[in-house]
A and B are shown apart, each in its own frame.
Chain A
């Protein structure tokens, strides 16, 4: 009887769905109704897996089980697994979920044969849908996922995948279920009411069912809101679980900041503020709530017009507690907090500008503060400068921790303008109020945000250009700073800025005058990184100016270590992972320069290699046979060797290959191919276009290549010429005659080229003074024989047997060696003489 009525409830639900949602449910609905009418209520309901108000419990079925045991047994099995699964879901044990889900799908596969006829049971579809929602929610919760232990995290992703695959089969049903769920609710409620209403009338089995019914009802109650507004409910549920462990006393106080009717005076507010601040840093304090409370307090103070000083005081605490939100130094602020922090500081600055009469200082004692007495000048304890500096650091941290290739980074970077404006406003404020020390600090901040930006001269709105700004700020610091560090930093930034804008001579002079090169190794690592960045920028600047030698010298230290990336604070090297422990690694990570300030490493290397090529190739050509030749650049030689080792030489691909190919061309004096290799589409894209004045740099490059190729050519092939016409040389290298003349003259003066210029015919007359290949060999042989003889004489010394006389002998040997060199020099002169 009761069951019949209940069926009506389910019926309604069903019809609702039927009317709205298509033929599938029509057929099933129809089916159900037939069965229902026949009186096999629970059977039909259960076998169909119809989850209505009247999902019959296991105990109930016992009575009739004999008839359809197979089907029931399967359903029962599935139900029990589902229960376990739900439990696991509730306690967020994802790995258990995964296990249970696997069990479930296996059991379902087994049961398929029996259940197939009616399609998958609804309770099965339901759990699938729920599980899917649940996983989606977990997946979205980034914070929670990070906190999850490894097992769970792994289980989560694999479960998600499995479920997705699995659910594909039942997509239609799940979608339908989701919609039906709304309607099911109606029936649910109604059916329950009926069921409860008729409870008294129920006879024997109904009583037995009672327990189950209650249980189900309970569960349903819980589920009901979920189906209505899933998200919210889950959040509540989460909150419920969290509440157990959290629950600082303050949270509960939240609604009633002050007892009703309390007269709100500055003293009360201050007391409250202190009370809140007392909780700061204690275990179990909800930091988010604390911020909320402070914010409320500000509102209250504002409402009651308690004066700007008090508000400022509270705002100081708000910002401080915003910084406190992250207990760990390594973690960075969340975007929303960061935004709040920014706006808070902006508000604070607004206040400060509005009330210039309020005196702020970090060394004002609590007792001597004056927040409310309007007769005396207001005095507030706090330091806006420290807060802003901290904000700047937080900004750096955020940038360090954001993937530089994501859109997110760009978004974050947009805040840079806000940070800059805050700093410049603070600077304004402090210029009126602050001490020179404070000014130095804020100037340094300003400088640090300015020095690496290239000034395109776009600021047409009358504000000073970055060069004069830098100049002004730095000079102030040079004059006023007492701490060495700020001065060092500002000098380096100043040099960097000069170099960035191609002002080579001021930059170089500043570097030399500061004597930083001598004592930079005593500075702390961030300053050293800044120094490295500056040196690199200086080198690149010199290169742009065509000062190849200077460029090479500036870049040599950084590049020859092979750790440019690390030295510039632009990333950690994998190689040294073994050399440092995780702690050190964390520290190093904190030192990294944010991506938007990076120096392009490929550009750096290319500049270095090209500079090395321009120096090294003529040098190599000039000293081809010199046994005691030194290399100018080890790294360049390394690249050459790598190039030689290639079994198959294709057209160059990477920047390095281009430079190697160019070097080879230059060796032959072929400046055209050299030029082609150094300046081409690929290299333009990779390197040269990155310069602000790309065309000027390219023009400089062409000219350097022509000149150095000419030198190389003369060194290499002078032995085959008796005389060369300078006009031909000038045509060959497309240099004008005076340039050729000057280059050759320079070579002759430096005794690099044994030749003389014949003015009337404009030719170079070679003086064949360089030893020929055989003569060179003979010289080498003589040298080797010298060492051989020396060694042999040492054997003789041993034969004569003087204990302890070895060292003296050795010294003698060296002296003899020197004599030998001199003798050889004599040889050479003789040879030259004979050759004339």
Chain B
């Protein structure tokens, strides 16, 4: 399966590029316009998941490479070791440094350009991802996160996507102010939190030659996955996840609603208080007394704490991703079903 993809990569058609095009164009001022991945890196990521990831567990690793013009070339990677309970004092940073130093010794690209992560049914838009990508991008300007979806890959189409935080979001994250007003001011919505960078998979000519040769020898490859009609399981899981997110979103909105209600209630109280004050002052004036001293109204009425809105943005982003996934999946499946029907008719 991987070989097929690489050959397609060699043919120069990055599969993710078509989807990412629009967004990449929208974020013109980004430092990286394209990601070029070595076949080796793809294989290593897949292998890493195959060996260590199970179910909804997530595997992560470091990407190494180089920036050439506005193109990020990822030429190598290595996995983060799996955490176990026993080695709690394991120093990850130390490990990374060691790894990079060793790689440098053997003269391989050793520049840190990002990280990769596997995902479970496309659920990757989380706070954790945001935070770590922010710190990456803060430290290394050109770094990207590669999201590898093993489930989709198992269904016959390699799914690998590169994401970066938009400059706007970087600003907000730097400020660490996620109040509704701040987000409004920054004009952040779920659509422009992440930008997808088009991916091109590139192999050396020698490898391409070898692949051609191998393909001839191996005969017809089994590609039944592509034609699988079973859709219920995947769809069910996706729906379940989507539903969970919708629930969370609902709760978040309820929270926000309460906040708004509290604010308006307080506003009313404040208003009443001011009016009463004014009336009293008027009376005092008519009696010839000095007006009451001005008091800090904000001290009397402490404004309620606004709930942070970043979570709901992320959830919205996640919902969006799920919807995209489901849409894609269903579109493919519908096609397959029509095909199957046609075949059936033909046979009959």
B232 is contacted by which of A772, A780, A791, A794 (Cβ under 8 Å)? A772
Is A781 part of the binding interface, using a Cβ–Cβ cutoff of 8 Å?
yes
Give complex CA distance A806, B239 in Å: 34
- Verify B242–A781 contact, CB threshold 8 A: yes
- Verify B247–A784 contact, CB threshold 8 A: yes
Is A574 part of the binding interface, using a Cβ–Cβ cutoff of 8 Å?
no
Identity of the chain A residue whose Cβ is nearest the Cβ of B249 in the assembled complex: A788
Interface residues in A784-813 by Cβ distance below 8 A to B read 784-785, 787-788, 791-792, 794-795, 798, 801, 803, 806
- Verify A795–B236 contact, CB threshold 8 A: no
Measured CB to CB, the closest approach of chain A to B329, in angstroms, equals 12
Q: A777-B239, A777-B243, A781-B243 are in contact. Are A788 and B250 (CB under 8 A)?
A: yes
Measured CB to CB, the closest approach of chain A to B10, in angstroms, equals 39
Measured between beta carbons, the chain A residues less than 8 angstroms from B264 are 798, 801, 803
Give complex CA distance A781, B235 in Å: 13
Give complex CA distance A660, B342 in Å: 51
Give complex CA distance A777, B232 in Å: 11
Give complex CA distance A8, B108 in Å: 123
- Verify B254–A791 contact, CB threshold 8 A: yes
Measured between beta carbons, the chain B residues less than 8 angstroms from A772 are 232
Among B162-170, B255-263, B296-304, the stretch in contact with A: B255-263
Measured CB to CB, the closest approach of chain A to B57, in angstroms, equals 23
Give complex CA distance A777, B234 in Å: 12
Measured between beta carbons, the chain A residues less than 8 angstroms from B236 are 773-774, 777
Measured between beta carbons, the chain B residues less than 8 angstroms from A806 are 261
Is A778 part of the binding interface, using a Cβ–Cβ cutoff of 8 Å?
yes
Measured between beta carbons, the chain B residues less than 8 angstroms from A788 are 246, 249-250, 253
Identity of the chain B residue whose Cβ is nearest the Cβ of A781 in the assembled complex: B243
Is B268 part of the binding interface, using a Cβ–Cβ cutoff of 8 Å?
yes
Q: How large is the interface on A (under 10, 10 to 19, 20 to 34, 35 or more residues)?
A: 10 to 19
Interface string of B114-137 (1 = CB under 8 A from A): 000000000000000000000000
Give complex CA distance A179, B264 in Å: 101
- Verify B243–A787 contact, CB threshold 8 A: no
- Verify A794–B243 contact, CB threshold 8 A: no
- Verify B247–A803 contact, CB threshold 8 A: no
Give complex CA distance A792, B240 in Å: 22
Give complex CA distance A774, B236 in Å: 6
Measured CB to CB, the closest approach of chain B to A804, in angstroms, equals 8
Give complex CA distance A795, B180 in Å: 13
Give complex CA distance A778, B240 in Å: 9
Measured CB to CB, the closest approach of chain A to B273, in angstroms, equals 15
Give complex CA distance A801, B235 in Å: 41
A780 is contacted by which of B243, B249, B254 (Cβ under 8 Å)? B243
Interface residues in A726-780 by Cβ distance below 8 A to B read 772-774, 777-778, 780
Interface residues in B213-258 by Cβ distance below 8 A to A read 232, 235-236, 239-240, 242-243, 246-247, 249-250, 253-254, 256-257
Q: How large is the interface on B (under 10, 10 to 19, 20 to 34, 35 or more residues)?
A: 10 to 19
Measured between beta carbons, the chain A residues less than 8 angstroms from B254 are 791
- Verify B253–A791 contact, CB threshold 8 A: yes
Measured between beta carbons, the chain A residues less than 8 angstroms from B250 are 784, 787-788, 791
Measured CB to CB, the closest approach of chain B to A774, in angstroms, equals 5
Measured CB to CB, the closest approach of chain A to B180, in angstroms, equals 10
Identity of the chain B residue whose Cβ is nearest the Cβ of A801 in the assembled complex: B264
- Verify A795–B232 contact, CB threshold 8 A: no
Give complex CA distance A803, B271 in Å: 12
- Verify A794–B257 contact, CB threshold 8 A: yes
B268 is contacted by which of A777, A785, A803 (Cβ under 8 Å)? A803
Measured between beta carbons, the chain B residues less than 8 angstroms from A785 are 246
Q: A784-B246, A788-B246, A788-B253 are in contact. Are A774 and B239 (CB under 8 A)?
A: yes
Identity of the chain B residue whose Cβ is nearest the Cβ of A785 in the assembled complex: B246
Measured between beta carbons, the chain B residues less than 8 angstroms from A803 are 264, 268
Identity of the chain A residue whose Cβ is nearest the Cβ of B237 in the assembled complex: A777
Give complex CA distance A65, B105 in Å: 107
Measured CB to CB, the closest approach of chain B to A334, in angstroms, equals 68
Interface string of A798-835 (1 = CB under 8 A from B): 10010100100000000000000000000000000000
Interface residues in B92-108 by Cβ distance below 8 A to A read none
Q: Which one of B235, B239, B242, B247 has the greatest number of beta carbons of chain A within 10 Å?
A: B239
Measured between beta carbons, the chain A residues less than 8 angstroms from B242 are 781
- Verify A798–B239 contact, CB threshold 8 A: no
Give complex CA distance A791, B249 in Å: 10
Measured between beta carbons, the chain B residues less than 8 angstroms from A777 are 236, 239-240, 243
Interface residues in B134-182 by Cβ distance below 8 A to A read none
Measured CB to CB, the closest approach of chain A to B231, in angstroms, equals 8
Measured CB to CB, the closest approach of chain A to B182, in angstroms, equals 17
- Verify B246–A798 contact, CB threshold 8 A: no
- Verify A781–B261 contact, CB threshold 8 A: no
Give complex CA distance A710, B345 in Å: 39
Interface string of B60-93 (1 = CB under 8 A from A): 0000000000000000000000000000000000
- Verify A795–B246 contact, CB threshold 8 A: no
- Verify B243–A798 contact, CB threshold 8 A: no
Identity of the chain A residue whose Cβ is nearest the Cβ of B232 in the assembled complex: A774
Measured CB to CB, the closest approach of chain B to A817, in angstroms, equals 13
- Verify B235–A774 contact, CB threshold 8 A: yes
- Verify B239–A784 contact, CB threshold 8 A: no
- Verify B261–A795 contact, CB threshold 8 A: no
Measured CB to CB, the closest approach of chain A to B262, in angstroms, equals 11
Q: A785-B246, A801-B264, A803-B268 are in contact. Are A795 and B239 (CB under 8 A)?
A: no
Identity of the chain B residue whose Cβ is nearest the Cβ of A780 in the assembled complex: B243
A784 is contacted by which of B243, B256, B260 (Cβ under 8 Å)? B243
Measured between beta carbons, the chain B residues less than 8 angstroms from A784 are 243, 246-247, 250
Q: A772-B232, A774-B235 are in contact. Are A795 and B257 (CB under 8 A)?
A: yes
Measured CB to CB, the closest approach of chain A to B117, in angstroms, equals 27
Identity of the chain B residue whose Cβ is nearest the Cβ of A777 in the assembled complex: B239
Measured between beta carbons, the chain A residues less than 8 angstroms from B268 are 803
Give complex CA distance A773, B233 in Å: 10
Q: A773-B236, A774-B239 are in contact. Are A781 and B246 (CB under 8 A)?
A: yes
Measured between beta carbons, the chain B residues less than 8 angstroms from A801 are 264
- Verify B243–A795 contact, CB threshold 8 A: no
- Verify B232–A773 contact, CB threshold 8 A: yes
Give complex CA distance A785, B242 in Å: 10
Interface residues in B255-281 by Cβ distance below 8 A to A read 256-257, 260-261, 264, 268
A798 is contacted by which of B232, B235, B240, B260 (Cβ under 8 Å)? B260
Measured between beta carbons, the chain A residues less than 8 angstroms from B261 are 798, 806
Interface string of A442-463 (1 = CB under 8 A from B): 0000000000000000000000
Give complex CA distance A780, B250 in Å: 14
Identity of the chain A residue whose Cβ is nearest the Cβ of B240 in the assembled complex: A777
Give complex CA distance A784, B250 in Å: 8
Give complex CA distance A806, B262 in Å: 12
Give complex CA distance A283, B51 in Å: 94
Measured CB to CB, the closest approach of chain B to A458, in angstroms, equals 65
Measured between beta carbons, the chain A residues less than 8 angstroms from B243 are 777, 780-781, 784
Interface residues in A113-159 by Cβ distance below 8 A to B read none
Measured between beta carbons, the chain B residues less than 8 angstroms from A798 are 257, 260-261, 264
Measured between beta carbons, the chain B residues less than 8 angstroms from A794 are 253, 257
- Verify A795–B240 contact, CB threshold 8 A: no
A-B CB proximity, top 8 nearest: A791-B253, A777-B239, A798-B260, A784-B246, A788-B250, A781-B243, A794-B257, A774-B235
Binding site for A on B (CB under 8 A): 232, 235-236, 239-240, 242-243, 246-247, 249-250, 253-254, 256-257, 260-261, 264, 268
Residue pairs across A and B with Cβ atoms less than 8 A apart, 27 shown, are A772-B232, A774-B239, A777-B236, A777-B239, A777-B240, A777-B243, A780-B243, A781-B239, A781-B243, A784-B243, A784-B246, A784-B247, A787-B250, A788-B246, A788-B250, A788-B253, A791-B250, A791-B253, A791-B254, A791-B257, A794-B257, A795-B256, A795-B257, A798-B261, A801-B264, A803-B268, A806-B261
Q: A784-B246, A784-B250, A795-B253 are in contact. List 18 more A-B contacts (CB 8 A).
A: A773-B232, A773-B236, A774-B232, A774-B235, A777-B243, A780-B243, A781-B242, A781-B246, A784-B247, A788-B249, A788-B253, A791-B253, A791-B257, A792-B253, A795-B256, A798-B264, A803-B268, A806-B261
